[in-house]
Amino acid sequence: MVSIRSVPSTPSSLTPNDLPWIIKHNENRCTLCGRCTSVCPVGAIKLNYMRKRMPRIVLSSSERGSSYKTFVGIRQRTDPAHRCIGCGTCSMVCPNEAIAPAPNANDDRFRFHTNQKGEPAKRGGRRNMPGASLLDRMIFNRISMLTDPALDAGRHEFQLNTLLGRILPPEEYLRRKMSGEWIPTTREIFPFIIGSMSFGALSPNMWLGLLQGVAYCNEVLGIPVVMATGEGGCPPWVLKSPFLKYIILQIASGYFGWDEIIRAIPDMQCDPAAIEIKYGQGAKPGDGGLLMWFKVSKLIARLRGVPEGVDLPSPPVHQTLYSIEESVMKMIQSMSMAWNFKVPVYPKISGSTSAKAVLNNLVRNPYASGLLIDGVDGGTGAAYNVSMDAMGHPIASNVRECYLDLCAQGKQNEIPLFAAGGVGKNGNITQNGLALIMLGASGVHIGKYIMQAAAGCLGSERNRCNVCNIGLCPKGITSQNPKLYRRLDPDQVAERVAETFMSIRTEMKKILAPLGRSQSLPIGMSDAMGIEDKDVADKLKIQYVC
Amino acid sequence: MSEVITIKGLDENGRRINSKDYEEMVQQAFASSDKLILETYGQHNVGGRLKNNGKPVDVHVTGPCGQRLGCMGVPGTTITCHGPASDDVGYLNIGADIRVLGDATNGVCNAMADGRVMVRGSIGSRGLTMTKWNPEYQRPELWVLGSVGDTFAEFNCGGVAIVCGIEPKNPKNVLGYRPCVGMVGGWIFYRGETDTSYSRTNVMAILPDDEQWQWLLARLPGYLEAIDRMDVLETLSVRDDWKMLISIPPQERALMFSGPMPMHEFKTNIWNKGFGGGDPLRDLAPGLDRSPIGLIETGELRRRKPFWANREKAAPCAYYCPVHIPTVDRLRLLRDGKSREAYELVLDYTPFPASICGSICPNLCMQHCSRQVIDDSIDVAMLGRHSKDIPAPPVAPSLGKKVAIVGGGPAGMNAAWQLARAGVEAHIFEKDNKLGGKLAQVIPWERLPKAVWETEVDRFLNTENIHVHFGVNMTKDKFVELEKDYDAVVVAVGTHEPRRIPFPGHERVIPALDFLKQGKSDNPPQVGKQVVVIGAGNVGCDVACEAYRLGAQEVTLVDIQKPLAFGNEKKAAEALGAKFKWPVSTKEVTEEGLVDAADELIPAQTVIISIGDVPALNFLPEGVEVMTVGGAAWIKTDDACRTSNAKIFAIGDVERPGLATNALGSGKIAAEAILCDIKGEEWKPYAKDVVSLKNLTPAHYEPDSCPGHTDQDEADRCMSCGTCRDCHLCETICPTSAITRRKLEVGGYEYVSDDEKCIACGFCADTCPCGVWTLQPF
């Protein structure tokens, strides 16, 4: 038995220097106002009383002994459950710049202890790969220097939108038009789409703030932005609102919220933008949603049609689908039929070497409206670290191979490919998106970027914060606790969404104008792009530049 | 006054002179005249660059005009184009007055920095673009009588345009499509309809103020005279017809939300209406408040709440003590100067604070004392000894009940003590002729001083309601009678049947129990010089000590496993020279001594076996359930020490072997359960959790280099785990002054945190020396 006066040591006993984030507290500046400990989302810090011994040792004097001085400081806990997550909210509330977390530059030993109680580490966020991404390294090098009509990004008008839905070849279109046959629906949308994040993964203020911003983009700015719901349904009032047309409803393996959607169909003022069938997610390929009980509030439970406070894992796969053919047949048909074949229906899959097989099935399916491929750098609100870090396929070559495959069949203009996964992970949203478009995507889905831009998500690929999965989001983005999500003002989120898309629109023009491109998106315009990496250039069939 | 020189654009052969040669001809003529008539034939860049040192120069362009009329025009030059002009009139003009008496095409005033361009007709697209204004000079002006084409005034940086809307090319849109993109300075007066497609992030629409209107009115005649259209002066002098676009200063633009509609307006007019005029979640979550809050909140918006959990948790001393003696309270009373109450308090829990706490108990309280993280545990044993001479407080009024207690050992005595003090007649039936069970019969007087013991037994016996019947050999029949005559029967007979092992020669072996009892009697037994004790537990150590006292010179304790002896008993035996030997498995005991499994002899004249005792339960009536452990029967009880017969309780070793203090504890539990039965109340087990050491704040205390030995020293040293010390530190540290101390009407005090001030920083809990403040999520 370890005696009380001794210090116990366990295999998981760590020091602050073993943790991923080290709290730097400057006692000289601290006013002990209590705000940092009040706000810390995980209770990582506390007021610590420490005792200093000051020996009185004077060789020539007989008066000896020790005196003691008590001093205080804000110190971090070192047990794995209360480790600092580096969010820096303490720093945000400190009136004196006395406290801040610093990344551990040396030796993070905590990573070996994230499996307490045998449960492997889970987190929100995405693959922790800091530094420039492949997309960041692509440059647009075909500049119209007096060789093409000079375009002015500020003055000329640009057709920046893309089409979601199956586009028939002209002769087939005319034939059907004349014979009065069914023509697949297409939607003209902005090519940067807010990717599926569920009402549940996101807080009500975040989700509705995003939608409000999307509505603003459409109705005030004239930018036809759409957003996908994720798997968690949609509030009935939203389903019955005129804003439904800006929403891509997602159906996934958990089928959450679909009872409310089906109930609302007769009352819908307009059709949804599209239906997304989720088969996979780039952040956690082969794994389903992991909404845990602490995020299943009364509201979320009501929306999803489940009891309050239960775990809501979605199965990794759709339980009644056994093959691609069947998936494509059954799901796309059922979903198309719900809105009388007037709403585009497309599947979302994880980036994978098998993406081309899926695509080829879709090409043959008359009702398939596109394919969304979500690459390995995609984000999520909750996944096992191993799924997030080790599973998946980078988006660039995946979407490129699919596009070239369509080209080989002469179908590249018929079935749009959408790409996702790490778009804008270092802030280069437009550059990343247009790089993917030039590799062959008709548009891109953005998730984490919009959380960072529109709501101030603190998460990073250095594993800052990333606690979306436990409902403690300090910004209120991924929490279902009103005490946290009320920190987020939906109006401000909406404003930031508007600002973000206005800015993307301008940046797109700044890229397209020098390319001399204004009448249509440069989908597959790979001759305009280069990279200073021979292997990548060869693989993607773009120019090698140096 | 010089002569007018005319320069023809065609040579004598009727061929067009190229612009380079024509410019040389113009410059040559300019050297001798400041009045030039240029009969141009499409020559570009004419009329500018006439370096006149400010003197007036009059240039008339009469032929078909080329591009860039008045290019790089200088101040003093007046250029009059008598017909329409081609692109880029006034290109890079820095001061010339340029009059175009017809229309002009695209790019009028491009990059012009000073001077005027006055057009009698309309102009094409991209007029007034890149126009500059150097504040050292005049603003450039563009006057257009008709209308302007698309993309007007792009990147205008200070130029002024006046678009009069007289006979415009496009009456629906005098300013063209999307004017003012990138415009950062200057302003535009205009008259007539527009498509309002101007760049809203660059300019704003205003009506001319007085100053601006005066500016326009003062200059209009000059312009109209120059183009010879004074006829429209009256038409143009109607203030209400004029509007303006004026550039937004960057400072102001930075303040604008860059969206063209404020979000609150969008929310009211578009967003909320989309949901039938209400919150989109009102059906799912009626009344849900989603309004914004900050990061630091008070009241119900905090995620945690402090709670003054005074006495909600037990100090380790009380928690680990089987009798749960609240030593923290004893020391608090001492700090308050109430030493009598302090020493009396312990008698509520045990009749033997000096004999057991102060002498033979291994003091689990001290083993777990939190103070050890600073220096040493509180000397609780000493506190116990200080209660030796405290008289028993008066007993409670009689409840008219009586309880029989079989066995007068520590368990039975505490049961009797508790019952008697609560007003119940307690009858002890003891087989021996003295009280105390093994304490009195077996434990050597070295460890339990006789004087201490006798004092406390006297106090016990002098307590009202306690009746002791000595020499009672309990039988089944007697027990049935007790059960009938008493309200409850408590079995506390202990273990007085020594365990034995039937190896050859076992009859030579003396059971430890008998040996110790005899040793303490008036006829102590003889022992050999060499003694072997089989079984090296604490009782074995007592045996060894007793053997030395009775004359042994060499005592060996053997065991088949690592000896379990610990603490004072072991130290005492070792101090006397006892040797421990293990593993030793006894094969037989002969006259020479003990022979082990390897046939080695440990010489001994006396061999004592000390491997435990078991209960003797032959009096127990049928129906009281027992369980067999280690070959002996023990009475089965529940948490309240109640047997399967609700009226019969079993306490002490007979239930489960343990320390004397365990016996005291079970005696107290049984007494409380019986009292609950009597009063018709529900008995509840001790349910307090122990204070976690992590919740205490040891840094408030200084280590004591020579730990105190007086009771007052201990009172000061006590960390008061789980019980408020009334130190006011929480009140002091609270950054929002939320915590106050409040006197209670019923006496005492409490600390409370004001919800409306508290931000839930947790400083109170982090500061509290006693671990009283806790923060609970809510």
Per DSSP, the residues of B106-132 read S-TTTT--EEEEEESS-B-SSTTTT--
d(CA A321, CA A332): 12
Residues B138-161 have a mean pLDDT of 94
Which of A36, A219, A488 comes nearest B270 by C-beta? A219
- Same-domain pairing of B421 and B569: no
Which of A34, A68, A299 comes nearest B281 by C-beta? A299
d(CA B169, CA A419): 49
- Distance of CA B183 to CAs A304, B130, B156, Å? 51, 8, 5
Question: Is B380 an interface residue toward A (CB < 8 Å)?
Answer: no
- Give pLDDT, residue A149: 66
Comparing A326 with B283, the larger pLDDT belongs to B283
Query: In this structure, is residue B20 part of a structural domain?
Result: yes
- Rounded to a whole number of angstroms, the distance between the first and last alpha carbons of chain A is 67
Chain B CB contacts of A208 below 8 Å? 280-281
Chain B CB contacts of A502 below 8 Å? 258-259
Nearest to B550 by CA among B444, B451, B440: B444
Q: Which of A135-149, B47-61, B287-301, B561-575 has the highest mean pLDDT?
A: B287-301
- Give pLDDT, residue B681: 94
Is the Cβ–Cβ distance between A201 and A468 less than 8 Å? yes
- Distance of CA A320 to CAs A45, A335, B469, Å? 48, 15, 82
Closest CA in chain A for residue B371: A5
Residues B307-319 have a mean pLDDT of 95
Cβ count near B507 (within 10 Å): 8
Question: Is A243 an interface residue toward B (CB < 8 Å)?
Answer: yes
Three-state DSSP class for residue A54: strand
* Buried/exposed code over B402-430 (b: 16+ C-beta within 10 A; e: otherwise): bbbbbbbbbbbbbbbbbbbbbbbbbbbbb
Q: A215, B290: Cβ pair inside 8 Å?
A: no
Whether A4 has a pLDDT exceeding 80, the answer reads no
- Same-domain pairing of B486 and B503: no
Q: What is the pLDDT of residues B490-529, one digit of tens each?
A: 999 999 888 888 888 888 899 998 888 888 888 888 888 9
Q: What is the pLDDT of residues B65-105, one digit of tens each?
A: 999 999 999 999 999 999 999 999 999 999 999 999 999 99
Q: What ipTM goes with this model?
A: 0.91
Which of A48, A65, A89 comes nearest B295 by C-beta? A89
- Substitution target in B154, B275, B279 with the highest count of A β-carbons within 10 Å is B275
Closest CA in chain A for residue B202: A154
Return residues 519-558 of B near A (CB < 8 Å): none
How far does B115 lie from chain A, in Å, by closest CA? 27
- Substitution target in A53, A158, A237 with the highest count of B β-carbons within 10 Å is A237
Is the Cβ–Cβ distance between A507 and A428 less than 8 Å? no
Question: Is A242 an interface residue toward B (CB < 8 Å)?
Answer: yes
Question: Is A270 an interface residue toward B (CB < 8 Å)?
Answer: no
Residues A51-62 have a mean pLDDT of 86
Non-local CB neighbours of B698 within 8 Å, separated by 6+ positions: A51, B370, B373, B374, B719
How far does A505 lie from chain B, in Å, by closest CA? 13
Whether A444 has a pLDDT exceeding 70, the answer reads yes
Q: B266, A236: Cβ pair inside 8 Å?
A: no
Instruction: Find where tokens 């798997």 sit.
Output: A231
Query: In this structure, is residue B61 part of a structural domain?
Result: yes
Q: What share of chain B is helix, strand, coil (3-state, %, to 5)?
A: 30, 20, 50
- Same-domain pairing of B556 and B647: no
Last residue of a domain, one of B612, B632, B649: B612
Return residues 131-160 of A near B (CB < 8 Å): 154-155
- Give pLDDT, residue A66: 87
d(CA B94, CA B111): 9
Q: What is the pLDDT of residues B445-497, one digit of tens each?
A: 888 999 999 999 999 999 999 999 999 999 999 999 999 999 999 999 999 88
Q: Write the CATH number of the domain with boundaries A16-119.
A: 3.30.70
pLDDT classification of B22: cutoffs 50, 70, 90: very high
Write out the two tokens for A523: 């989908």
Query: In this structure, is residue B461 part of a structural domain?
Result: yes
Q: What is the pLDDT of residues B397-441, one digit of tens each?
A: 999 999 999 999 999 999 999 999 999 999 999 998 889 988 888
d(CA B736, CA A350): 51
* Sign of the dihedral through C-alpha B751, B754, B760, B763: negative
Whether B706 has a pLDDT exceeding 80, the answer reads no
Q: A39, B290: Cβ pair inside 8 Å?
A: no
Question: Is A455 an interface residue toward B (CB < 8 Å)?
Answer: no
Poorest-confidence range of A512-521, B732-741, B742-751? A512-521
Residue A338's φ and ψ, nearest 5 degrees, are -60, -35
**B777 preceded by a cis bond (ω within 30 of 0):** no
Return residues 414-433 of A near B (CB < 8 Å): none
Query: In this structure, is residue B276 part of a structural domain?
Result: no
Whether B259 has a pLDDT exceeding 60, the answer reads no
- Give pLDDT, residue B212: 96
Question: Is A486 an interface residue toward B (CB < 8 Å)?
Answer: yes
Non-local CB neighbours of B70 within 8 Å, separated by 6+ positions: B46, B47, B48, B77, B79, B89, B90, B91, B93, B96, B98, B115, B117
- Substitution target in A3, A5, A259, A298 with the highest count of B β-carbons within 10 Å is A5
Cβ count near B1 (within 10 Å): 6
A16-119 against A135-159+191-544: fold identical: no
Chain A CB contacts of B290 below 8 Å? 204-205, 482, 485-486, 490
Question: Is B259 an interface residue toward A (CB < 8 Å)?
Answer: yes
Closest CA in chain A for residue B776: A43
- Same-domain pairing of B492 and B503: no
Residues B363-383 have a mean pLDDT of 93
Q: What is the pLDDT of residues A165-216, one digit of tens each?
A: 999 999 999 999 999 999 999 999 999 999 999 998 999 999 999 999 999 9
d(CA A439, CA A528): 10
Closest CA in chain B for residue A203: B290
- Give pLDDT, residue B256: 67
Domain boundaries, chain A: 16-119, 135-159+191-544
How far does B151 lie from chain A, in Å, by closest CA? 8
Q: B258, A499: Cβ pair inside 8 Å?
A: yes
In whole numbers, what is the pLDDT of chain A averaged over residues?
92
- Same-domain pairing of B625 and B480: yes
Query: In this structure, is residue B720 part of a structural domain?
Result: no
Q: What is the pLDDT of residues B593-630, one digit of tens each?
A: 888 888 888 899 999 999 988 888 889 988 889 988 87
Question: Is B697 an interface residue toward A (CB < 8 Å)?
Answer: yes
CATH no. for residue B656?
A: 3.50.50.60
- Same-domain pairing of B598 and B635: no
Query: In this structure, is residue B481 part of a structural domain?
Result: yes
Q: A495, B154: Cβ pair inside 8 Å?
A: no
How far does B91 lie from chain A, in Å, by closest CA? 20
Chain B CB contacts of A243 below 8 Å? 274
Nearest to B607 by CA among B576, B586, B634: B586
- Same-domain pairing of B471 and B506: no
In whole numbers, what is the pLDDT of chain B averaged over residues?
92
Residues A324-340 have a mean pLDDT of 85
Q: A4, B291: Cβ pair inside 8 Å?
A: no
Nearest to B155 by CA among B202, B104, B221, B206: B202
- Distance of CA B730 to CAs A342, A389, B255, B725, B774, Å? 67, 46, 46, 11, 12
Topology annotation, domain A135-159+191-544: TIM Barrel (3.20.20)
Per DSSP, the residues of A365-402 read -TTB--EEEE-TT--EEEEEHHHHHHS---HHHHHHHH
d(CA B154, CA B443): 109
Chain A CB contacts of B734 below 8 Å? 34
How far does B295 lie from chain A, in Å, by closest CA? 7
> Percentage of chain B with pLDDT > 90?
73
- Same-domain pairing of B502 and B578: yes
Closest CA in chain A for residue B761: A38
Comparing A190 with A128, the larger pLDDT belongs to A190
Is the Cβ–Cβ distance between B534 and B543 less than 8 Å? no
Is the Cβ–Cβ distance between B721 and B696 less than 8 Å? yes
> Percentage of chain A with pLDDT > 90?
76
- Same-domain pairing of B8 and B80: yes
Query: In this structure, is residue B354 part of a structural domain?
Result: no
Nearest to B772 by CA among B308, B429, B149, B332: B308
Poorest-confidence range of A259-263, B155-159, B704-708? B704-708
Q: B293, A216: Cβ pair inside 8 Å?
A: no
The alpha helices in A18-169, defined as continuous H runs, are: 35-39, 89-93
- Same-domain pairing of B477 and B620: yes
Closest CA in chain A for residue B279: A237
- Give pLDDT, residue B58: 93
Number of domains in chain B: 3
d(CA A485, CA A206): 8
- Same-domain pairing of B530 and B435: no
* Rg, chain A, Cα only: 26
Domain residues for the domain of B573 are 498-612
Give the global pTM.
0.82
Which of A39, A154, A483 comes nearest B301 by C-beta? A483
d(CA B204, CA B216): 19
Which of A3, A238, A488 comes nearest B280 by C-beta? A238
Chain B CB contacts of A484 below 8 Å? 303
d(CA A352, CA A133): 18
Three-state DSSP class for residue A161: coil
Return residues 281-310 of B near A (CB < 8 Å): 281-285, 288-297, 301-303
Element (H, E) at A21: strand A21-25
Q: B697, A221: Cβ pair inside 8 Å?
A: no
Element (H, E) at B517: helix B512-520
Question: Is B369 an interface residue toward A (CB < 8 Å)?
Answer: yes
How far does A268 lie from chain B, in Å, by closest CA? 12
Whether A459 has a pLDDT exceeding 60, the answer reads yes
Return residues 309-368 of A near B (CB < 8 Å): none
CB pairs under 8 A between A and B: 176
Beta strand spans in B176-317 (E): 185-191, 203-206, 242-247, 304-308
Distance of CA A517 to the CA centre of its chain: 29
The alpha helices in B11-89, defined as continuous H runs, are: 19-30
Query: In this structure, is residue B735 part of a structural domain?
Result: no
- Give pLDDT, residue A267: 94
How far does A378 lie from chain B, in Å, by closest CA? 29
pLDDT classification of B1: cutoffs 50, 70, 90: low
Comparing A270 with B258, the larger pLDDT belongs to A270
- Same-domain pairing of B605 and B505: yes
Report CA dihedral (B170, B173, B175, B178) to the nearest 10 degrees.
Answer: -120
Chain B CB contacts of A491 below 8 Å? 263-264, 267
Closest CA in chain A for residue B151: A155
Return residues 171-210 of B near A (CB < 8 Å): 178, 181-182
Comparing A306 with B705, the larger pLDDT belongs to A306
Cβ count near B146 (within 10 Å): 21
